Chain A
Amino acid sequence: MSGLLPDSSNPVEYIQHHLVNLSIGEGFWAIHLDTLFISWLLGGAIIYAGYRVGRDLSLERPSGMQNILEAVLEFVDDLVRSVLGRGHTMIGTLAMTAFLWVLLMNLMDMIPVDLIPWLVGLFGADHFRAVPTADPQAPLGMALLVFVLMLYYNIRIKGFYQYMMEFLTHPFGIWLFPINFVMKLIEEIAKPLSLGLRLFGNLFAGELGFLLVALLPFWVQPVPGTIWLLFHLLVVVLQAFIFMVLTVMYLALAHMGHEEH
């Protein structure tokens, strides 16, 4: 047992140990098994619940889970409509999935930091990070999909020429096109980066907070642990919400010319 978990009497080692993923492969080819496993587990739970609910929807007497999913869907749909002026299946679905999935992944942070690593440690895994969104790969991966779709819609809706003109003429007019190009490039790349890194940063900080609390003597832990838990519960829900809203905003903006926004 003592070999599986580091001694909390050595704080640096303890924290560093918790920040290493269970992975196979090296460098670019590394795969974080823990991140993928947990996110698939939670995604699978959403799909399973969604399948159960969607299979027999009740028009007159919606069940509890149907009510929740309906409320989330209508909320996301209203948001899309208020930003874009009309409904959009692709944006709505993506935002709804992002909200539910990110929320569940964030909520993994509410499980005691040492519980899951200890459990999988029994099966011989030496590292395990249970919160996928505290691993930059997960939120950035999701943000990258949003970015790819942004590019796709920008080019599909505005046409490649029009989109390039935005790069060259926005915001200073055509004569300063090199500056325009660089600024627009930074603006576009900053979108997915900020989207992913905001989520990652918040969840990473949350995890770190729990790790620090876990380093305290056990009789001190309840008070700061509870305070941090309550505070972090807010952050967890808020970040899932923000991720969803920004997904909608970025994809909706890709549908509008820059004279519209």
Chain B
Amino acid sequence: MNLTLFGQLASFALFSYLVYRFLWDPITNMLEERRKRVADGLAAAERGQREQELAEKHAREVLLEAKEQANEIIANAQRRADEIVEGAKDDARIEGERIVSAARSEVDQQINLAREGLRREVVALAIEGAEQVLKRKIDAKTNSEALEKLAAQL
């Protein structure tokens, strides 16, 4: 045991202090900062992943909604088309019926007209026949009233 021992003791203390000063303290701080940064990075990554999941979910929802809307639109259009076709059919039928009934009434009118004409001719013929038969006995002017009645009865 001599002075060397105490020299070594002092050296150990001094070097330890310098190691603390130059290495331990800075490296410990740096490691702490690195730990924090890694933790932050992981947290950010997790947050990003969660956000992505949310966005994907949102996108799925939007897509689903769009599909539903499209289906609805298609169904509406189908219904509308059916309605239009149905309406057109009805219109056509009504129009047809109208045309048919118009034609029919025209026909009736013509028939009536023809009948009227015939009647007049029949009346005229009858009168003429009666005139021929009753040439002298019946005065056309005095008996015209009776003849009109007869004509109306025909």
Contacts and interface: CB of A to CB of B under 8 A. Distances in A.
Contacts of B23: 50, 53-54, 69, 73, 96
Contacts, number: 122
B5 A30 contact: no
A57 interface: yes
A20 to B, nearest CB: 13
Nearest to A43: B15
B28 A31 contact: no
Interface string A95-108: 01110110000000
A39 B33 CA distance: 34
Contacts of A23: 4
Contacts of A16: none
Interface string B13-33: 101111110111111101101
Interface in A28-65: 28-32, 35-36, 39-40, 43, 46-47, 50-51, 53-55, 57, 59
A78 to B, nearest CB: 12
A43 B3 CA distance: 19
Interface in B7-59: 7-9, 11-13, 15-20, 22-28, 30-31, 33-34, 37
A97 B19 contact: yes
Given A59-B30, A96-B23, A141-B5, 17 more contacts: A23-B4, A28-B2, A30-B3, A31-B4, A50-B22, A57-B26, A59-B37, A73-B24, A73-B27, A73-B31, A89-B24, A93-B19, A93-B20, A98-B16, A140-B1, A141-B8, A145-B12
What 8 A-B pairs are tightest by C-beta distance, nearest first? A141-B8, A137-B4, A141-B5, A54-B22, A93-B20, A32-B4, A50-B23, A141-B9
Interface of A: 21, 23, 25, 27-32, 35-36, 39-40, 43, 46-47, 50-51, 53-55, 57, 59, 66, 69-70, 73-74, 77, 89, 92-94, 96-98, 100-101, 132, 135, 137-138, 140-142, 144-145, 148
